[in-house]
Structure 1
């Protein structure tokens, strides 16, 4: 029997909540297992064979994902340390701007990278002026460059959170004891990084594992083909569904192995507590110079492509063709529907997982399953299931929105669940002792503490959906393209001016969607008084 102070909803969660959670689980399982099963059934009894080209795609996928994760995290460590211990004018704005590439549409980022590192880009122009040979952005080096551009901000944020959890008292004690660089690393920085870095590596690896648009635009040939791109080619060009399903199964196995490694090697969180007093002054001299260099180089690497997108696209924004504006409307519809679905899925799974400890592993596991899923196989399976009953083009908008919501769900859960766990641990029994019902507890206790992570999660989902180029390429026909799909066609047709304007439009819309939802839902950031 629960005690009088034990929240009743933690023993008998509301039926509506369980219904929504069950619906979310059913939809996510259908998207993953159901789509894969449909591809296998359509492929027939003839089993696909893993040929030499598939082995090459597997090797390249593992190589680029591993190198991308290692390079991103290795570069993020000094940058996160510099941002953690330096305070300067514009620091917050710099952190926000350097985080933009993670929510940036892939094709927009690629156009910015081409402007800087492409054949006629700034980097090759500088090499030419210096009498040095130019470099190519296509192939492995281009894929790595793009993945580091996308994931360096994410890795920096993850590691910066680890530094922010080190109490100021520990830093003051280290300073009073005269700790040098080696002692700081041994007793404070090293133990923290051993708990943060494995998770950052696994997250970046999983993101790069299912990379599609980067390999499509910068892969540069059969030697630089990922499994996701091979799945797309097997379906669209060869219509070899058995091979597509086999490749998807291998890719899912790699993702599951990465998740298991993450669970096995990430150590429990450190028991660090403190009074949140001001940290001691950061070291000066050479340390200050190195921190400044790290921040300046990363800021230039991340912000210069964004600046080139604005400079090249602004003169052509007003003269965009009508097809671009029609595609923009389609993208806005997809993003709006995706945000609604993401909000329902996140709320149902997060609350059910926190209020039901027995079902929590299943609910969280299903919610995180999108990290190992192949969007191309999901789209292929849904296409096969819908084709006998309805024209797939008519489902382009809802299917794309649904898949985009599922792909953003792991990031939304990671943003909301920690805050929800803390709020329940701190206030659930107090709410029960005051006689608050479920509705009042949600409205008065949980929502004020979940607004900021919820706003971030939904803003991120909107931005990712706005710039996604995945399932839509299988379903949409002429007149039903989204803005990323239209941008790809403009780039393929060498309409560089229209492509530059469309890229800037997509950049503005993605950042606006993220900022608007984060501000409207999350509200203003509270001012802490140091307690």
Structure 2
């Protein structure tokens, strides 16, 4: 849930502002809930389509295998991500070498990189025709294949180990400075520091990290679609897509969609029960490491190896992606009318989606910071629901609803814009909420004494504090939208093609050079948007200071 200090903030809000924030939270929650769950609930009533009986589905050996594989790959992916991410977070916090801040920024790249682009980078290194395959061939060994479970696990570790590392780093940064100082004064050994200081902090972050990564892997669509390699490596989300796109079995698709929601809800249940924040996706600023424990040569060597391993897993696919992309005919691709149309479509979708997502995030964050208990619950529930109801499931509901009541092709852009807008809610609320809470605590009583309410209060009090997080949230929203495939997968057509969908089509038609070039252009575009947003946010923060 989204946490907010309701009573403390409410004490410095005028009654009109409390009512406004309560209304914003309820309105934002209704919009998110209505879009995410409304379509699935309305499909049986409007179209007459009812989901197949879940028990009947589970009697099908093939579908039982899909459910089992979904849980298996998510569990293994989470374990492997934790196995690398926890030592990596510890190593990053322990290191006293220069460049740690830059390395931490590098480990944000997987969270911003479009999944399809990341998958191509992994194929360029670990696939049959990749760098590793060439090395195996030179050694007289058969070329490896990463399609199937191995490729899915590798991709999930690539994207999620860095997330776990940042969560662990943040948990260590929250350890009181006195604990590190006492550890240094007592001369505790590295093992004692791990047992008494680092270990408890990691254990506090472990349930959140494990539950979140497991849920992200259960809802993984693009990576499984590209790297699954066949029916033996199919997850429930991919089965929903196949049931609508290829088999057109609406009843089966609807039942699988509800089953997927149940699986994700069970995955997130431990996180919600312990009070963790589904909105905290490791995007916040990690705490500064001020350690006084004595260094150890053996631990330093081990930490250096772990950091080198993490950087190799991150940088090798990116380097291969750049090399293959530069080898493509980029000039021809840039001048290709299909690429130009897809790029324009992506922008026409991303800009309104980002602005709508930021508006909803701001409304929910304001409600969470002083709108009352019910408004805070609505804000937290809306941001959590985004993780519980995956994009492909949302798309399936709206696809079935629009097919029975209207023109799917005409309304597809609207559905995709709103779907991508709600995707940003967990990130946007996480970025906005701390700034609003801090501004209200520092200047709320002054604003109350001056009679600032409504728009005037938002402009003069919360507004300056929101400049930096708003820049970061806008960049992140644009990046998520530009790289998203899951929301457009069901609605794509010759008249509605985004860059990720065009990239998938070029991959499917074995135009590997074009795919590599498009992946490079898309990846660079997304990273450029995030870099510009971060630079703008830093400048706004410095101007405010």
TM-score, length-scaled by structure 2:
0.88
1:27 maps to which of 28, 31, 35: 31
Inter-partner Cα distance in structure 2 for 1:525 and 1:174: 35
1:293 maps to which of 298, 305, 327: 305
Change in CA separation of 1:291 and 1:444 when aligned onto 2, cut-off 3 Å: farther
Aligned residues of 2:40 and 2:398 also touching (Cα < 8 A): no
Inter-partner Cα distance in structure 2 for 1:524 and 1:287: 40
* Greater shift in the superposed pair: 291-300 or 254-263: 254-263
* Greater shift in the superposed pair: 78-87 or 58-67: 78-87
Q: Per the alignment, in what secondary structure is the counterpart of residue 479 of structure 1?
A: coil
Inter-partner Cα distance in structure 1 for 2:164 and 2:437: 23
Displacement after TM superposition at 1:13 (Å): 2.8
1:149 maps to which of 142, 158, 167: 158
Matched, 1:451 2:464: no
Displacement after TM superposition at 1:26 (Å): 2.4
1:126 — aligned with what?
135
TM-superposition CA deviations, 1:65-104 (whole Å, max 9, x none): 1111221122111111221122434332222222211111
Matched, 1:333 2:348: yes
TM-superposition CA deviations, 1:30-65 (whole Å, max 9, x none): 222211123434363573431222211111111111
1:383 — aligned with what?
399
Inter-partner Cα distance in structure 2 for 1:63 and 1:397: 35
Matched, 1:6 2:28: no
Displacement after TM superposition at 1:461 (Å): 1.8
Change in CA separation of 1:146 and 1:78 when aligned onto 2, cut-off 3 Å: same
1:488 — aligned with what?
504
Aligned residues of 1:6 and 1:432 also touching (Cα < 8 A): no
Inter-partner Cα distance in structure 2 for 1:451 and 1:123: 45
Which residues of 2 match residues 29-428 of structure 1 at below 5 A? 29-41=33-45, 42=47, 44=49, 47-48=52-53, 49-50=56-57, 51-265=60-274, 278-280=290-292, 283-315=295-327, 316-320=329-333, 321-359=336-374, 360-387=376-403, 390-428=406-444
1:511 — aligned with what?
527
Structure 1 segments unaligned to the other structure (5+ residues): 269-274
2:476 maps to which of 460, 463, 469: 460
Displacement after TM superposition at 1:276 (Å): 8.3
Displacement after TM superposition at 1:246 (Å): 1.4
Q: Per the alignment, in what secondary structure is the counterpart of residue 443 of structure 1?
A: helix
Displacement after TM superposition at 1:289 (Å): 1.1
TM-superposition CA deviations, 1:404-425 (whole Å, max 9, x none): 1112211222233244334434
Change in CA separation of 1:186 and 1:238 when aligned onto 2, cut-off 3 Å: same
Aligned residues of 2:152 and 2:227 also touching (Cα < 8 A): yes
Change in CA separation of 1:517 and 1:423 when aligned onto 2, cut-off 3 Å: same
Q: Per the alignment, in what secondary structure is the counterpart of residue 356 of structure 1?
A: coil
Structure 2 segments unaligned to the other structure (5+ residues): 1-6, 278-286
Change in CA separation of 1:456 and 1:159 when aligned onto 2, cut-off 3 Å: farther
Change in CA separation of 1:109 and 1:175 when aligned onto 2, cut-off 3 Å: same
Q: Per the alignment, in what secondary structure is the counterpart of residue 369 of structure 2?
A: helix
Displacement after TM superposition at 1:265 (Å): 4.1
Displacement after TM superposition at 1:397 (Å): 2.4
TM-superposition CA deviations, 1:321-341 (whole Å, max 9, x none): 220121011111111111101
Inter-partner Cα distance in structure 1 for 2:470 and 2:169: 20
Displacement after TM superposition at 1:258 (Å): 2.4
Aligned residues of 1:195 and 1:266 also touching (Cα < 8 A): no
Change in CA separation of 1:277 and 1:435 when aligned onto 2, cut-off 3 Å: farther
Aligned residues of 2:424 and 2:477 also touching (Cα < 8 A): yes
Inter-partner Cα distance in structure 1 for 2:125 and 2:211: 29
Aligned residues of 2:29 and 2:378 also touching (Cα < 8 A): no
Aligned residues of 1:64 and 1:144 also touching (Cα < 8 A): yes
Aligned residues of 1:68 and 1:208 also touching (Cα < 8 A): yes
Aligned residues of 1:213 and 1:469 also touching (Cα < 8 A): yes
Aligned residues of 2:92 and 2:307 also touching (Cα < 8 A): yes
Q: How many matched pairs? A: 519
TM-score, length-scaled by structure 1:
0.91
Inter-partner Cα distance in structure 2 for 1:69 and 1:448: 39
